[in-house]
Structure 1
Amino acid sequence: MFGTIVNTILIILGTLIGTVLKKGIKEEYQTALFNAMGFAAVALGVNAVVQNMPNSTFPVLFIMSLAIGSFIGAALDLDGKFNTLVGRFGNSNLSKGLSTAILLFCIGTLSILGPIESALNNNHTYLLTNATLDFVTSMALAATYGIGIMFAAVVLFLWQGGIYLVAGYLEPFLTDSLMAEVSIIGGVLIFASGLSILGIKDSKTLNMLPALFVPVVWFFIISFL
């Protein structure tokens, strides 16, 4: 849980700094921060896909997973329901900022694969990298929306902590082949998140999140064949 604790602390710290400096950060500086973070997300996503694609044992599985997962997510309107739920709390501006913060902090590949890597291999690289990105993001968001962004740190702790616990119980099932497939899909999702941050394409990445579970179901099925 070391990486998750660091990630949570840095979000809180970034929120406090951003709140204090709220009147001192000009709009062009906020834009610069978001651009840098967006390009970093794109690069990390491409890197995850390129690194894991050669290790894929089912080359078309990630395509099927993205298609099926996106269909399920769109049918359930995960993105819309999430934003509606968050919108019930606080004023509209805070709700918008908090929604953006939770999406950026929780649905990226680093935030999903990081706790798994931490639990299984005691490798905190993903989470510490994610913590650095979240630190910058929380500063920028808090400078715009205020200290309410700190609530996203609680959501992130519960999210990553839950994944960490599940990964521990599923260790025998989480093979290298499965992790390669999940990493490819995760890379696509973080790439899509980067495009959203840069304002190039809003892919409603939350609707694509079920795609991460398709390879898990697939490997579970073939294990009985």
Structure 2
Amino acid sequence: MQHIPIGSLVNVVAIIIGGFVGMAFRSRMPEGIRTIVFQGLGLSTLALGVSMSLKMQNILIIIFSIVLGGIIGELCNLDKRLEQGAIYLKKKIKSKNELFVDGCMTATLLYCIGSMAIIGAFDEGLRGDPTILLTKSMMDGFAAIALGASYGVGVVFSALPVFIYQYGLTLFAIVLQPYFTQEIITQLTATGGILIIGISINILDLKQIKLSNMIPSLIIVVILSVLF
């Protein structure tokens, strides 16, 4: 049976609209306002990551997932590959925005790693209910306004990898429906929370962490949770 990803499609539209609204305000926004918006977004992202990570049930599984996932990502050079993809998009649309790549990668990670992206995609796949993703769409739309005002058009193009990721998770959930438990989803959420803390560190410019290389952690935590 063909599955129409209503939640993911609405999410894409919200990101695109929010990104363009943010870009419209960007030229009229004083540098001081842009900076404080950026810092506020970073702090809010940090709070979200902490709240998600506190849900962890087995710290050892989380640690092994982050470490092993990071090693796999580093060996596969995922960060560089994603960066090259963003650079390719930038050249294709002939954008002169210096923050295009940073904006595309930051927005993509923020929208994809959150618990609502994971749980929402699973919920649409397992129960055919897009409610969580529709709620996430509204939140992402407002976040896209702030990101668009700070980074520019790169935020709009993050909608493409977000759709691929969320729809992929939905199809993944449909196929592996018998194996997912609430405990696995909780561990997955906690691991995502740690990665979101990393995003906030990047946004606040405290230190640049190659979070793209840690994305395999989200797969490793599912495997380890099933095994142990």
What TM-score results when the alignment is normalised by the length of structure 1? 0.82
Match of 1:83 in 2: 83
CA separation of 1:199 and 1:172: change in aligned 2, threshold 3 A: same
Q: Does 1:165 align with 2:165?
A: no
Paired residues for 1:177-192 under 5 Å: 177-192=183-198
More deviation, 162-171/93-102: 93-102
Structure 2 gap segments, 5+ residues each: none
Aligned-pair identity in percent equals 31
Q: Per-residue displacement from partner, 1:169-210 (whole Å, max 9, x unpaired)?
A: 211111122112212211111122122212223222111111
Distance 1:142 1:24 in 2: 13
Distance 2:150 2:224 in 1: 43
Q: Per-residue displacement from partner, 1:80-137 (whole Å, max 9, x unpaired)?
A: 2211232133246233433333233323343233312443353734x35543443234
Match of 1:23 in 2: 27
- Structure 2: which amino acid aligns with 1:9? V
Q: Does 1:45 align with 2:54?
A: no
CA separation of 1:201 and 1:133: change in aligned 2, threshold 3 A: farther
Q: Are 2:10 and 2:137, in contact at CA under 8 Å, matched by a contact in 1?
A: yes
Match of 2:13 in 1: 9
Structure 1 gap segments, 5+ residues each: none
Match of 1:67 in 2: 67
- Structure 2: which amino acid aligns with 1:203? I
Runs of 4 or more above 6 Å deviation: none
Distance 1:107 1:21 in 2: 27
Q: Are 2:10 and 2:134, in contact at CA under 8 Å, matched by a contact in 1?
A: yes
Query: How much is the aligned-residue C-alpha RMSD, in angstroms?
Result: 2.5
Count of aligned positions = 217
CA separation of 1:60 and 1:148: change in aligned 2, threshold 3 A: closer
Paired residues for 1:103-114 under 5 Å: 103-114=109-120
More deviation, 207-216/90-99: 90-99
Counterpart of 1:213 (choices 213, 219, 225) is: 219
2:205 match: secondary structure: coil
- Structure 2: which amino acid aligns with 1:169? V
- Structure 2: which amino acid aligns with 1:108? G
CA separation of 1:154 and 1:82: change in aligned 2, threshold 3 A: closer
- Structure 2: which amino acid aligns with 1:79? D
Cα offset, 1:2, TM superposition: 4.1
Cα offset, 1:48, TM superposition: 1.6
Distance 1:177 1:36 in 2: 32
